[in-house]
Amino acid sequence: MSFCVIVLVLCLSVAVAVTESAIGVNWGTVSFHRLKPSTVVDLLKDNKIRKVKLFDADPDALTALMGSGIEVMVGIPNEMLSPLSSSTAASDLWVRQNVSTYLLKAGADIRYIAVGNEPFLTSYSGQFQSYVVPALQNLQQSLAKSNLAGYVKLVVPCNADAYESSLPSQGAFRPELTQIMTQLVEFLNSNGSPFVVNIYPFLSLYGSSDFPQDYAFFEGTSHSVTDGPNVYNNAFDGNFDTLVAALNKIGYGQMPIVIGEVGWPTDGAISANLNAARTFNQGLINHVLSNKGTPLRPGAPPLDIYLFSLLDEGAKSVLPGNFERHWGIFSFDGQAKYPLNLGLGNRLLKNAKNVEYLPSRWCVANPSLDMSDVTNHVKLACGVADCTTLNYGGSCNGIGVKGNISYAFNSYYQLHMQNEKSCDFDGLGMVTFLNPSVGECRFLVGVTDTNSSGCEPGLGSYKKWLIIGLLILWFFIM
Ligand SMILES: *[C@@H]1O[C@H](CO)[C@@H](O)[C@H](O)[C@H]1NC(C)=O
Ligand SMILES: *[C@@H]1O[C@H](CO)[C@@H](O)[C@H](O)[C@H]1NC(C)=O
Ligand SMILES: *[C@@H]1O[C@H](CO)[C@@H](O)[C@H](O)[C@H]1NC(C)=O
């Protein structure tokens, strides 16, 4: 065990020397088919991704990240803001259980705590907003008590709906948020924390039929926005500078900005497809890494950007739209969806290795049976499993009536880990060993959802680090 610690310490000190990169990813886990956390961490490492943002403080994810050298932003769900705002005992415990444990064990390199997730979102009607600053204050003193206040920064990821304006230079926070935003930004500034914002040109395009398609991307536009002496050629810059102006208006025009979420989905809507996602994400990455900045911040791009998202999350609510389950640059099983250069050293994405799939078999509609009584079965299957790709704009929209039924059956069957009974459907279903996928429409095979616990499941990567550690030790001894 002491050897384990030595190796981890060595790995951490090696990691510190590596230059920091500005591109990170969001790792969400609302999926029916979750990869093992150690597989995901290896995927991050293989793609040289050195920053990851989580939506909670999942012990399995944090354990798998131990010793990886990857910088972590852990999240606090909005529902926890109220208890954390009212009790320092609660914030002390949160920090001890979800931060100190991992940091003190020379483990997961937690650098940021995201306090709430878009807590000022208009659709929450203000239900979380009064808790944010008190929760920050409690957590800050808990960090200070643990001597972590200088190392771990508190941030609050905000949706871009916190500010508004028709022209970037006129940007201002929503009037009802002005006071709270002023307190928040004062707090961030006094602790050296950046402002974290989520920016989604896709949602602007999806939500408004007169939003010019080419303004969402980075390849030039016939709809540029002229704002005094400044010309904006893409929605991202326009949105970013609206925030800069809003910060300026409350006296913090120099505050560093991190993009907590940004990305483009690949399925579930007409404008959500592989080509659009590749074009947007590659354009964004090239733009940020060019260091050009924006008209209001020339030469000063965002500090970091976290792509949304690493993996598809097939169990997310589709309330925002069917695209919601398709944001990954990788599919749920860690396979790259399209060529993307993250600017981190690899020219292309590398797929997840050693993914443990269920056997190669699928559930389909029995071709020799009459399907006229199938409606309720399909409804039931799609009520729990993911069928979003079948709808208009989805990759499986054109596969016909029987294709639809088979797709629904299979989603349900894989969700139930290929349990035989889950392919019955009153005798209408049938297991097949022939892959029913057609063109871009993929009939999935689930992955085995094994939970990690402690050091053990990460053994593969652990051994590798052990060998590297031994080599380094050997080098020093010689
Ligand atoms: C630590 O984080 C996890 C995951 O977000 C949460 O369930 C747990 O309640 C937290 N611990 C404390 C003491 O609040
Ligand atoms: C397949 O299902 C989708 C979603 O319910 C529907 O839009 C489409 O029209 C269906 N296709 C056929 C041929 O029935
Ligand atoms: C994995 O862990 C989660 C929570 O820790 C639990 O809800 C789930 O049932 C577990 N899955 C398996 C396959 O053990």
What is the per-residue pLDDT across 337-348, written as a single tens digit (0 to 9) for each?
999 999 999 999
Ligand at shortest distance from the CA of 389? 2
Which pLDDT score is estimated for 474? Answer: 52
Task: Output the residue whose Cα is nearest ligand 2's atom 6.
Answer: 391
Which atom of ligand 1 is the closest one to the Cα of 76? 5
What is the per-residue pLDDT across 71-121, written as a single tens digit (0 to 9) for each?
999 999 999 999 999 999 999 999 999 999 999 766 999 999 999 999 999
Span from the CA of 45 to the centroid of ligand 1 (angstroms): 26
How far is the C-alpha of 213 from the C-alpha of 210, rounded, in Å? 9
Intervals of the chain under pLDDT 50: 1-21, 451-467, 475-478
* Mean model confidence pLDDT for the chain: 91
Residue type, 55: F
Mutate which of 404, 411, 438 to test ligand 2's pocket (most atoms within 8 Å of Cβ)?
A: 404
Do 3 and 463 touch, CB atoms closer than 8 A? no
Which pLDDT score is estimated for 469? Answer: 52
The pTM assigned to this predicted structure is 0.88
Of 20, 71, 118, 164, which is the active-site residue?
A: 118
Domain extent listing, the chain? 2-325, 362-432
Ligand 3 contact via 440 beta carbon (within 6 Å)? no
The share of the chain scoring above pLDDT 70, in percent, equals 89
Which pLDDT score is estimated for 460? Answer: 37
- In CATH, the architecture of 2-325 is Alpha-Beta Barrel (3.20)
Which pLDDT score is estimated for 8? Answer: 45
Does the active-site annotation cover 261?
A: yes
Q: 23-62 burial by CB neighbour count: b if 16+ within 10 A, else e?
A: bbbbbbbebbbbbbbbbbbbbbbebebbbbbbbbbbbbbb
Ligand at shortest distance from the CA of 74? 1
6 vs 175, 213, 306, CA distance in Å? 53, 53, 31
What is the per-residue pLDDT across 42-53, written as a single tens digit (0 to 9) for each?
999 999 999 999
Which atom of ligand 1 is the closest one to the Cα of 77? 5
Residue type, 318: V
Task: Output the residue whose Cα is nearest ligand 2's atom 1.
Answer: 404
Of 261, 324, 356, 456, which is the active-site residue?
A: 261
Which pLDDT score is estimated for 104? Answer: 76
Ligand 3 contact via 451 beta carbon (within 6 Å)? yes
Which residues touch 466 (CB under 8 Å, ≥6 apart)? 3, 7
Q: Whose CA is closest to 24, among 40, 8, 47? A: 47
Which pLDDT score is estimated for 17? Answer: 36
Work out the number of other CB atoms within 10 angstroms of the CB of residue 439. 9
Does the active-site annotation cover 176?
A: no
Report the phi/psi class of residue 46: left, alpha or beta, with left for phi > 0 and alpha for psi in -120 to 50: alpha
